[in-house]
Amino acid sequence: MTKKKWLWCGTAVSAAAGLGYATWQRSRIVLKTRHDVPAEHSRRLLERAAPLLRLPASSDQAPQVLPDGSGLRSPSTGRIYTYGRGDGRGDGRGILDLLPAEPDQTFTQKALDTPLTAWFYDRFRETITGALNSPDFAGEVVHIQQDLQGGPGDTILDLACGQGNFTVEWAKRVGPAGLVIGLDISLAMLERAAYHVNRWGLDNVLLIRGDAHQLPFADGVLHKVNCSGGFHQFPNLLQALREIARVSAPGAVLTASTFAEGVDDNRAPIKRWLKRRFDLHFVPLADLGDQLGALGYGSYEWLLPGGGWFGYTASHKTV
Ligand SMILES: C[S@@+](CC[C@H](N)C(=O)[O-])C[C@H]1O[C@@H](n2cnc3c(N)ncnc32)[C@H](O)[C@@H]1O
């Protein structure tokens, strides 16, 4: 390459890096913008959710809502769980931290739990799924909604809600009488979700920092659970499925999408290598049906569209 070409190349790379950095910094400023949620609003939201919730180490009683809407109190231990203020985490942004303890995260969990990667995922999810020949986001929503049937007044758990893309969609559908609970283990992702929830002015969404392996809900209280892009990240999917089954009522629907392995999948070797190397489980969809069957789910359907990397499932709890 000539000196002139090197110069052009260097200028182009620097410009792209500068633009990327400026976009990233702008997103940080937007994210840090404080959205003051009136105490009355927080209290009402927590009061609606409290009967469904169980705090760590208080499995048999609903939590008490603090009168100023700043959090929940465990009836058995007296411990306070703050809602978006007070403990320095999620301050003013509406996140209820119910993680029993700091988790020992896997490589892929850690990778998504930084402000930069959460921003990147939020910004480029469509590009990533497009590269995997998956439907675009609007197409995914239509597909999932066929089974989830989220409508006015429903309560929906959006498990592994990440940056809140599906959470916002379901919240628009369930309307003011409904409730969407977005639960994720990553604070960085939840901060993005809180930003989107605030941006859309939704007051029917509760964002919880929690773990799919130990869901902070009472038995049999949920009728609609969606988990988009979560199953492949859970270190112990069977335990997470047990928890989903425990908190779901008879007749409840479970919709999920995940990196997946089909039957006679010619990409199985690379998928299994990715699992060993990065804890990225390509969930064998036929086996998933068996596991769900053993947990009382029926009418299991699965689909592995396009290039066969990312699958969609739906099933109903029969007992
Ligand atoms: C690929 S993102 C999916 C985000 C969003 N639902 C979507 O479809 O774009 C996977 C999410 O699963 C979350 N996750 C991983 N392990 C989890 C766990 N044990 N409990 C709850 N969330 C978890 C990650 O933090 C991440 O936000």
CA-nearest residue, atom 4 of ligand 1: 162
Q: Is 243 helix (H, G, I), strand (E, B) or coil?
A: helix
pLDDT in tens, 1-10: 788 888 887 7
- Sorted by sequence, the CB contacts under 8 Å of residue 266 that are 6+ apart come out as none
pLDDT in tens, 55-92: 988 778 999 999 988 899 999 999 999 887 433 444 44
Q: Is the CB of 170 under 6 A from ligand 1?
A: no
Q: Is the CB of 237 under 6 A from ligand 1?
A: no
d(CA 228, CA 216): 19
Last residue of a domain, one of 46, 65, 92: 92
Total domains present in the chain: 2
Q: Is the CB of 244 under 6 A from ligand 1?
A: no
- What is the four-CA torsion angle of 108, 113, 119, 123, rounded to 10 degrees? 30
d(CA 165, CA 196): 8
Q: Is the CB of 84 under 6 A from ligand 1?
A: no
Parent domain of 74: 34-92
d(CA 76, CA 61): 8
Q: Is the CB of 166 under 6 A from ligand 1?
A: yes
pLDDT in tens, 37-59: 677 888 999 999 999 999 988 77
The answer on 138 and 63 residing in a single domain is no
Q: Distance between alpha carbon 31 and the CA centroid of its chain, in Å?
A: 18
CA of 222 to the centre of ligand 1 (A): 19
The minimum-distance atom of ligand 1 relative to the CA of 240 is: 19
Residue 185 DSSP code: S
The answer on 275 and 149 residing in a single domain is yes
**Helix residue ranges per DSSP H, 33-103:** 39-49
